C-alpha cells in the first residue's frame, strides 16, 4: 500500500486530501397524506418516506430529520409544492440546523393554483447536528399534497460533499 495513504472505515486520506470511500446521502418525501399548516406558525415538514438513505441518517418515522454522522460539508435541497387556497398568499420554506433557521426562500402566490418553492444550502456541520425543513404560511391554511401516481412533489434531499 502507498505510504501516503491512510484509511478509516469511511474515508481514505490521500496526499491530495480526504476522499470518501462510501457516501452519506438521503432522499425523503411526503407520502400517504397531505400535511396542513397553521397561519403564521413555522411548522416542520414531516417527510415520512424515503427513496434513498445510505447510512440510515435520515429519520423518516419519528423526528423527520437528518443527523450528520461525521464532520463535513453537506448539501441540502427541498422542493415544496403547495396547494394554495387564496390569491396573494405568502409562503416560505426554511432549512433549520439544531432548531435554528439558517436558510430561507419565500414567494407570494399569484392565484389559487399550486405553487412551488425550493430552498437549498451547502452547510458545514459537525457530527450529531441535525437538519430539518420548516414551512410558514403568512396568510392562509394551505397544505402540501402527498405523493400521487408516483410523482413526489415534496421532497428533501441531502448528501455529504466533503469531509474536513
Domain of residue 100, residue span: 23-162
Task: Look at residue 45 in the predicted model and tell me its pLDDT.
Answer: 92
Residue 14's CB is within 10 A of a number of other CB atoms, namely 13
- What per-residue confidence (pLDDT) applies to 80? 87
Per-residue pLDDT tens for 98-127?
999 999 998 877 766 777 889 999 999 999
Provide the number of structural domains found in the chain.
1
Between 28 and 142, residue with greater pLDDT: 28
CA dihedral sign, ordered 126, 129, 132, 136: negative
Would 3 be classed as within a structural domain?
A: no
The residue ranking higher by pLDDT, 71 or 32, is 71
C-alpha cell of residue 11: 474515508
Q: Give a yes or no: residue 102 inside a domain.
A: yes
Examine residue 17 and state whether it is found in any structural domain, yes or no.
no
Instruction: Give the residue-averaged pLDDT of 140-162.
Output: 74
Q: Is residue 40 part of a domain?
A: yes
Q: Higher model confidence: residue 145 or residue 152? A: 152
pLDDT tens per residue, range 39-64: 778 889 999 999 999 989 999 999 99
What percentage of residues in the chain have a pLDDT greater than 70?
71
Q: Is residue 117 part of a domain?
A: yes
- The CATH number for 75's domain is 2.60.120.40
The answer to whether 91 touches 134, Cβ cutoff 8 Å, is: no
**What's the mean pLDDT when you consider all of the chain?**
81
Instruction: Name the pTM for this structure.
Output: 0.82
Helix, strand and coil in the chain, % to nearest 5: 0, 55, 45
Q: Could you tell me the pLDDT band of residue 162, with boundaries at 50, 70 and 90? A: confident
Amino acid at each position: 500500500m502507498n505510504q501516503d495513504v491512510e484509511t478509516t472505515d469511511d474515508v481514505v486520506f490521500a496526499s491530495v486530501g480526504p476522499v470518501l470511500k462510501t457516501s452519506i446521502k438521503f432522499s425523503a418525501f411526503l407520502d400517504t397524506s397531505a400535511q396542513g399548516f397553521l397561519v403564521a406558525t413555522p411548522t416542520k415538514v414531516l417527510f415520512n418516506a424515503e427513496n434513498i438513505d445510505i447510512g440510515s441518517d435520515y429519520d423518516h418515522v419519528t423526528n423527520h430529520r437528518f443527523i450528520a454522522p461525521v464532520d463535513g460539508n453537506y448539501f441540502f435541497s427541498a422542493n415544496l409544492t403547495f396547494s394554495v387556497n387564496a390569491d396573494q398568499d405568502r409562503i416560505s420554506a426554511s432549512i433549520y440546523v439544531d432548531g435554528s433557521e439558517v436558510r430561507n426562500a419565500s414567494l407570494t402566490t399569484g392565484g389559487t393554483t399550486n405553487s412551488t418553492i425550493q430552498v437549498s444550502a451547502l452547510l458545514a456541520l459537525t457530527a450529531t447536528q441535525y437538519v430539518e425543513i420548516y414551512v410558514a404560511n403568512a396568510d392562509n391554511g394551505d397544505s402540501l399534497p402527498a405523493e400521487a401516481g408516483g410523482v413526489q412533489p415534496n421532497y428533501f434531499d441531502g448528501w455529504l460533499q466533503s469531509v474536513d
